[in-house]
Structure 1
Amino acid sequence: MFALMQSTRTQSLHVFNDPQTGLEAVVVIHSERFGPAMGGCRYLAYTDHESAITDAVTLAQGMSYKAAMAGLPFGGGMAVMLRSPQVNDRAALFEAFGRCIDSLQGRLLIALDSGTSTLDMDCLAQGTPHVVSTTALGDPAPHAAMGVFAGLRATAHARLGSHNLEGLRVAIQGLGSVGYALAEHLHAAGADLLVSDLEPGRVRLAVEQFDAQPIAHDALPSTPCDIFAPCGIGPGLNGQSVMQLRCAAVAGAANNQLASLHVADQLEGRGILYAPDYVINAGALIYSALAHRGEKAEAITAHIARIPTRLTEVFGHAQAEKRSPARVAQALAERLLYD
């Protein structure tokens, strides 16, 4: 545990347990250099406590990088609630976790993430005021999709020479709230969609609404396309799966897409342009952070619109230095955080 914290420069790790509700949770604060940490609350089943801690630490690090690259006055953090097979009172569970978050005295601002909803955040807010994505504040997913769509266009321009997505084959792996909203943007832009999800109903809906082509979830990475968009739970790209890719670029909404930076080098070696996840998918964080500060919708949209500029900057450095955009983005983020 301490070796992982040291290697990621993680500031603190907190473990919470509430026998009455069955709560088991991990909270990680990676950095508070620019302000209080901000991060999502995941509610997923994990094989063991160690995997939950590893997930929380790596995601919190990514949130610090994301906030720094987006120019936000916040640090990075993450909360992970371990999901048990049976929960007697979900509302009470989240309210109890809210009290745990409150004990950190505002050092972590919490938003929804995989496995949670704005209704869960409403319950969590009963125990703490440090929640930034309640029903009243709105779901950040549409803003995440808006940013990824803009970043995907910039990626297409960098790799394929045009911002025009009409007729482009885009493979979306994962049709959750962000992935589905991204599919809507892409369909409106005239892209041809290949889609997969572990939930068949979401695939059927995408086929009906967007004339998408359904592909088996495991087969999608090896299906020929122009851009592969991972929008599920990472890391889905490892040494083996990257060798199966048949695309020109990878640009998606998922966090922690790469199993390691060595995978980024493999992508670079194969001539596949990679859009670093914490650059392209910053829209939800930008929305939550600026809405929390009381910024108007126009200012939030304008800030999200800067994502392609930052991404293009990363691509430019990567091309000039002849190395992966993932390594360039990490170097830029760490320079901002630690220099």
Structure 2
Amino acid sequence: MNTYTELDMPGYQEVVRCDNPEVGFTAWIAVHNSHRGPALGGCRVWCYDSDEAALTDVLRLSRGMTYKNALARLPLGGGKSVVRTDLLRVDRVALFEELGNFVEHLGGRYITAEDVNSTLSDMVAVKRRTSHVATVGASGNPSPFTAYGVYCAIRASVRHKLQREGLDGLTVAIQGVGETGGRLAELLKKDHCRIIASDINPAHIEALGKKIDLELVRPEEIYTVACDIFAPCALGGILNSRTIPGLLCQIVAGSANNQLQTEEDGDLLSRRGILYAPDYAANAGGVINISCEIDQPYDEKLAMRRTAAIEQTLLEIYRLADEQKRPTNLVANTMAEELFGASLVC
């Protein structure tokens, strides 16, 4: 049985903890800002080292969803759920059904969807307990749209930084080639890019290697590979004072959330002459796709058109960054805050 605890977190509208020792999990839902609409964000399942690490993650991720949804001009706020558990030791169906009860507990103020280690099948279990879940029976897996959005962000970045329209002949180093990174690699390969890849999961490399030609490097080597574009498509916090000095690229554009360990790392990239595509601008394709099913019949063509607009959003960020002589991450933050009304965050 779920037990719920309200947490007081400054800067967040609502943060709730859920404990269920019978099934074997602890979960958190954070609603950062709902000024533009109900908070939408996926459910991340991870074997966190501690409750503190899980709470930190849900706070960072929900804040990022506020900025992502606002910058994409969606009628949605920002939220996220994370689950601390070992999926190999729990009844998966029972876990996600109880997560559905947790989502229902918030009464529609938060809408969930799939994310890291949660699948469309898991969302079917969630939907047995709540209607506040996206992708089931409508837009489906958001990963193809996330990948396409990052592809559009790369096109914008190449146009701005390298002053060229096509991607043919460019080298892209992709960190993480799972659902999204793998699809991105396939899109780039169609444009005749050279793909260098790393992943901590050998199965991802094996699966992608059956589809396209790629070069494999060890996970710790991906930061220092000579390339035109570095695409982080795994977990966040990987752009920092330790990794940025070793980057041998001109552009960073990927699907991972919270790529910068701190906002100051955006300035460090800028001072190195590396163009950074703010992560929540580049990876918004998945949530754009989901938005096309909320309160309306799902329209895949509309979702593709709206995802393609990521290219123009990035070009606008780059233009303003050049004019204002500010790092791109700070320019994107300002744009998003104007759209969701940062002063209204509780």
TM-score range, shorter chain: over 0.9
Q: Partner residue of 2:279?
A: 277
In 2: Cα distance, 1:180 partner to 1:331 partner: 31
Q: Partner residue of 1:290?
A: 292
Which residue identity lines up with residue 314 of structure 1 in the other structure? I
What are the Cα deviations for residues 197-223 of structure 1, in whole angstroms up to 9, with x where unaligned?
Answer: 011122233334221110111101101
Q: Partner residue of 1:128?
A: 130
Q: Partner residue of 2:325?
A: 322
Q: Partner residue of 2:176?
A: 174
Deviation at 1:95, TM superposition (A): 0.1
CA contact (8 A) 2:153 2:282 kept: yes
Deviation at 1:174, TM superposition (A): 0.2
Task: Determine which of 94, 104, 107 is the counterpart of 2:106.
Answer: 104
Q: Partner residue of 1:300?
A: 303
Q: Partner residue of 1:334?
A: 337
CA contact (8 A) 1:264 1:326 kept: yes
Q: Partner residue of 2:228?
A: 226
Q: Partner residue of 1:10?
A: 12
Q: CA RMSD in A?
A: 1.6
Which residue identity lines up with residue 54 of structure 2 in the other structure? A
Which residue identity lines up with residue 15 of structure 1 in the other structure? R
Deviation larger for 78-87 or 110-119? 78-87
In 1: Cα distance, 2:34 partner to 2:138 partner: 26
CA contact (8 A) 1:118 1:135 kept: no
Q: TM-score, normalised by structure 2?
A: 0.94
In 2: Cα distance, 1:248 partner to 1:74 partner: 33
In 2: Cα distance, 1:203 partner to 1:271 partner: 31
Deviation at 1:41, TM superposition (A): 0.0
SS in 2 for 1:112: coil
Equivalent residues in 2 for 1:258-269, closer than 5 Å: 258-269=260-271
In 1: Cα distance, 2:53 partner to 2:207 partner: 33
Deviation at 1:269, TM superposition (A): 0.4
CA contact (8 A) 2:181 2:255 kept: yes
CA contact (8 A) 1:207 1:213 kept: no
Deviation at 1:88, TM superposition (A): 3.4
In 2: Cα distance, 1:207 partner to 1:265 partner: 36
In 2: Cα distance, 1:154 partner to 1:50 partner: 38
User: Alignment identity in percent?
Assistant: 37
Q: TM-score, normalised by structure 1?
A: 0.96
Residue correspondences, number: 336
In 1: Cα distance, 2:16 partner to 2:207 partner: 40
CA contact (8 A) 1:23 1:97 kept: no
In 1: Cα distance, 2:182 partner to 2:85 partner: 24
Deviation at 1:128, TM superposition (A): 0.7
Unaligned ranges ≥5, structure 1: none
SS in 1 for 2:243: helix
In 2: Cα distance, 1:60 partner to 1:292 partner: 19
Which residue identity lines up with residue 55 of structure 2 in the other structure? I
What are the Cα deviations for residues 14-36 of structure 1, in whole angstroms up to 9, with x where unaligned?
Answer: 00012221121000000110110
CA contact (8 A) 1:221 1:241 kept: yes
Deviation larger for 10-19 or 251-260? 10-19
Q: Partner residue of 2:119?
A: 117
CA contact (8 A) 2:139 2:289 kept: no
What are the Cα deviations for residues 265-314 of structure 1, in whole angstroms up to 9, with x where unaligned?
Answer: 10000000000000011000000111223242221111111101011000
